[in-house]
Structures are given as structure tokens and as C-alpha cells.
Amino acid sequence: MCGIAGIISKNGRNYQEEIKKMTDSMIHRGPDSSHYEIYENATLGHRRLSIIDLSDNGKQPMFSNTKNECIVLNGEIYGYQDIKKQYTEYPYHGSSDTEVILAMYQKKKENLIHDLPGMFAFAIWDNQKQQLYCARDRFGEKPFYYAIGQNDEFIFASEIKAILASGLILPKVNPEAVSNYLQYGYVSSYQSIYSNIFTLPPAHQLTWKDGKIMVSRYYSLPAKDAVISLSEAKEQFIYLLKNAVKKQLIADVEVGSFLSGGLDSSSVVALVDEFLPHQTTISFGYDHKDSELKYAKEIADKYKTNHIEVHEQKKDLAQSLLNISPFFDEPFADISYIPHYEICKNARKNLTVVLSGDVGDELFGGYHFYTIENKLKNHFSYKSIIAQFGLNLYKKLKPISFLTQQNLKYSSILDFHLNSVRNDFSREERSILGISAGYQQGYSFTPDPDSLNDVMRVDLENYVPGNMMVKSDRMAMANSLEVRTPFLDIDFAEFCIQLPDQLKLNNENDKIILRETMGAYWTETIRKRHKQGFGLSVKSWFEEDKLMKLSDDLLKDRNQKVFNYIDFNATQKFLTKDHKHWNLLQLALWAHNNQSVL
């Protein structure tokens, strides 16, 4: 895994200092080496974390055999050895996956993207065309930001901090992004927190030529559900997942696995064992009665892994926030980012690459609210004008059920999902805070508001790249660790996306396809498990004196930068030691961390 950067402008040699500042700001993404290459009108930079082809043959920026093309890549191209066999005419210099993209580009130009699997963000400078071609992977596993500098330079990098480090742009805060953050706790993967720094969305490509930028979507999620029996689905499921795991074990360093003791990570560990016996597994747990460590140890014992347990350390939470939050560059309110940082930090002591069980919930229907949405849809009051008319009268006399309340409040399960699930501040509350702007993200398909599968598709294009992959990438890269996600293998993910929702969940069971296919790989207690988070309690965190002092310093001082964007007096009403309070604290932390540029 790496950090990439570039400046496209006339007189490329004039930008050596700027490109060095950009790559230096991302040393955590690539501590092994730093290089840059200069053309007359392009300067490319790279920080390297050596994983495949550890020799100098794998270093970047990497020239093609003709020197006409030069690439910087952040990511991994899974199954690149098989792709390489299709481009045997190219005179390979080394054995890295990066060079395969150059071979593909020479033959297919921009059309290469349709045949490129894996997680990636890359840029190729074509000197003959005087053109830059960039692309980001389908599910947003790797980041890509860009901006136009004060002298019309095209600037790009893996992180916002690198673009700011160039000194070529003065950022302006984006009110729409602030609104989206306050609602969901993260910035949309179609925006950045700044109106003049842009993100290349997942599944999109970008071409710069003659000062003009063209951005287009190259991939859309499969929009239709398949017709398939459970027995057929199980057979394809295990075949595709084994293939995904096998491809993601390719590295010239040791590959380990995160193991929470949940169904998803236990499945990954079980299949890794078929290709890599005695793997290293690592678990993080809080020392309380609901800790998942005991479940993780069951799987570790079953597969005889080299198991590492990371126990919660009673650290200064306020100091942890001050140390960790700057790695995000944007406000980010997922409460699990601190434990995620800790497990990545401990994993890096023994490993450079780790497999994760992320995104199983979105693919197999594992979240509790999916079950609620299924019940909402099947409730007699769902979209029934007559029933809802009667219930509106009845509720004035007697209490009504939760499902009835939600069906009266929201027009569909999609409306409920977007405006109730994982929401912190409602539109009215954001308005009270002084945020009148709103933002509605688009999708690669037209969601059916009554389709449970489309709700999961929405999460794959909204929550997964905006929250989950941001957390995974930033916390891993903060510790110079590469995290791979087998469930996002394109063949496996597409298969799961198209499975009919009755193979994912019903009113009694979640993750039906996973349980039916992988149950024999687990222990008995794991088979009976349902989803459990890290067991964090925001309320208990706010009981810590140092955290409350940090909160008071940042949220009760009118002079703090955050109050350039939200109303001070309104903010005080929301400091109630809950998720809203946490959301505001993270926004204030971001403003504090970036006060020199705000």
C-alpha cells in the first residue's frame, strides 16, 4: 500500500519542492521509500510500502518500457499474474502488479479499467498525449483527491493533507459536506469537506488534458436480483469466496487475518487455513462480560493459528482522539475508529498485510436494521392508506407499536433507512445549528424504495465507501499496514449483491446464505451468534474527566474555529453526552486540527 501524488503543470521541474512536501506528508502510507519523477509538464510522486516485488524493480513512479507512460498506484491488483499472461508481448522489467497496468494501458488505453480487478487508485501520465488518466476502484477501498491550484495546476493525492501540503491551494469549507457529516457522521464519497478539493468517487475515472477535466462512471452495481435456489447459491458462494481469499493471499510478505469472533471474520480465517496453515490472527477486545475475545479464541484454537490478543488499555481517551483524528483530514464520527487504530497498530508489530471480514453485513444482510426494515415492509400498515388513516386516529387513544410508528412516519423502507438509520442530526436539527444546505448522493442505479436488496445496494455506494473504507484505509495506513477485503472481490461481491433477499434474511434469521454455506467451518457457539459491535458506550466515555475537558475546550469556547460553521448557542443544547455530542466533538476536533488552513 502506498501514497500517490502529482502536479500537472508547465515547467514540471519548478514543482520539486511541492511534490516532496506532498509525499513527505504521507510518510505513514509508505515508510519504505519515497521517489518522484519529472516530465516537462508533469511531476509524479510516491511513498512506498513494499509488499509485492520488494526490489527496486517495484519502485514507483514507474516508467513503461518506452518511458512515454509513467504510473503511480496505490492498491493491489488481485490475480495480476493471470492478467499478465494475457499481455506477454510487453517486456516486463520486474514482477509487480503495477507494471501489469502499464502493459494494459499500452494496448487498451483507458479501456483497461473494465478488466482491472482489485483495490486501487492510480494515475498514468501519457507524455505523447500530454494527458493524465486516473481511476479509483469500484467500491472505494482506496482514496483519490484532486484540486486546481492557484496557477491552474492539476493537483492529486491519496490524502487531502498532501494537497494542502503543496501550498498551491487555499481550502474553502463545503456547507453541503458539513450537512452530510452532521446527518450521517461522515462525508459522502462524492465530496470532500472542502468545496475546492474534490474526491474521485468510487467506480469513476478521470482524464485531464489541455486543462480540461472529464470525470465519468465506468462501473455500476448489478441492479437486478438473480433467480437462484439455495443449493445453487451455496455452491457458487463457496467457490467464489475461496477464489477471492486465494487471490488476496498473494504477497512477498506475511499475510495475517483480523479475527473478531464474528461470522464474517471467522469465515475468512477458516478459508485462509486451506491455503495458509498456521496463519497469524489478531483480535481486539474490551475486558467486559460481552467481550468477543472468547469467540475469536475458539476459532483460533480450531484452526491452530498464531493468535494475538489486544486488550483494551485504559488510556487517556482525549489524548487518543488528539493523536488519531488528524489522520482522517475530515470530520469522522464512527465510534469504532479508536479500537480500529489500536488493532492496526498492534498488527503492524508482526504483519504488513491483513485480511478483513468487512462488508459482510451489507452483502449478506447482517445488520439488525435490515431485519427491522424487512418487518416494516411486511407489516399490514406498510403503504396502506386505509390502515394508516385508521392508525392515525387510533394512536390518539392508545399507544401503537414501533413498526406502526415508523410506517406512519416514513414513506418507504428506503426513506426510513436514509433518514432514521445511522442518523445523528435531522434536517430540522441541522437547521437549528445554522446549516441550511443539504446534500443527496446519487447512485449508479435507481433504487426501488420498497426493495430490501436496494437498501443494501445503497449502503454499498454510500456507507461502505464513505465510512467503512475510510476508517479501514486511514487507520491501517496510519500504522503503515495494508488491509485487504476478500468480500469485495468483484466476482464474489457481484454474486452476493444479486442474491434474492430471502437468501439473506427473514424475520428470524440474518446472513442466511453465509450460515448455510459456512456453518460447518465454525464452532457451535459461533454458529449461534448474531452481530455484535465492539461494545463501546459513548455515554461511558463522556464520564471521563479528560474527555469532558476536551469537549468543553472545543465546544464551549466561542472562539473555536468550528463556530465559523455551526451556531454556538444552538450547539450547547446538544451537548448531552450521546451520539450527537460525539458527532459535534469530532467536527470540532477536525476544525481544531486544521485551524491553520481554515
Residue 285 pLDDT: 81
Alpha-carbon gap, residue 119 to 490, rounded angstroms: 10
Q: Which residues are annotated as catalytic?
A: 2
Residue 126 pLDDT: 97
Give the chain's largest Cα–Cα span.
80
Alpha-carbon gap, residue 249 to 229, rounded angstroms: 30
Alpha-carbon gap, residue 66 to 103, rounded angstroms: 11
For residue 596, count CB atoms less than 10 angstroms from its CB and return exposed for 0-12, middle for 13-18, buried for 19 or more: exposed
Kindly report which listed range (92-96, 440-444, 457-461) carries the lowest average pLDDT score: 92-96
Closest CA to 508 of 374, 334, 319: 374
Residue 287 pLDDT: 63
pLDDT digits (tens, 9 = 90+) for 273-320: 999 999 999 998 876 556 778 899 999 999 999 999 988 766 789 999
> Is 0.85 surpassed by the pTM of this model?
yes
Q: Residue 597 pLDDT > 90, yes or no? A: no
Percentage with pLDDT > 70 across the chain: 96
Residue 110 pLDDT: 95
- pLDDT-derived band at 55 (thresholds 50, 70, 90) equals low
Average pLDDT, the chain: 93
Rounded to an integer, the average pLDDT of 85-89 is 92
Q: Residue 53 pLDDT > 70, yes or no? A: no
Q: Which three cell numbers stand for residue 108?
A: 487498451
Residue 218 pLDDT: 98
Residue 394 pLDDT: 77
Percentage with pLDDT > 90 across the chain: 79
Rounded to an integer, the average pLDDT of 376-403 is 84
Q: Residue 532 pLDDT > 70, yes or no? A: no
Strand order in the sheet with 154-157: 33-38, 42-48, 2-8, 154-157, 145-148, 197-199
Kindly report which listed range (72-76, 232-236, 354-358, 531-535) carries the lowest average pLDDT score: 531-535
Long-range contacts made by residues 150-154, C-beta under 8 angstroms, separation at least 24?
151/9, 152/9, 152/211, 153/7, 153/8, 153/9, 153/15, 154/6, 154/7, 154/8, 154/9, 154/208, 154/211, 154/213
- pLDDT-derived band at 398 (thresholds 50, 70, 90) equals confident
Amino acid code (one letter) for 354: V
Q: Residue 569 pLDDT > 70, yes or no? A: yes
Omega before 201 cis (within 30°)?
Answer: no
Residue 407 pLDDT: 86
Kindly report which listed range (55-59, 390-394, 583-587) carries the lowest average pLDDT score: 55-59
Q: Residue 50 pLDDT > 70, yes or no? A: no
CA distances from 286 to 28, 271, 314, 513, 517 (A): 27, 27, 10, 30, 30
Q: Residue 103 pLDDT > 90, yes or no? A: yes
Residue 265 pLDDT: 96
For residue 6, count CB atoms less than 10 angstroms from its CB and return exposed for 0-12, middle for 13-18, buried for 19 or more: buried
pLDDT digits (tens, 9 = 90+) for 482-523: 999 999 999 999 999 999 999 999 988 999 999 999 999 999
Beta-bridge partner residues of 155: 7, 147
Residue 238 pLDDT: 98
145-148 and 204-209 strand pairing: unpaired
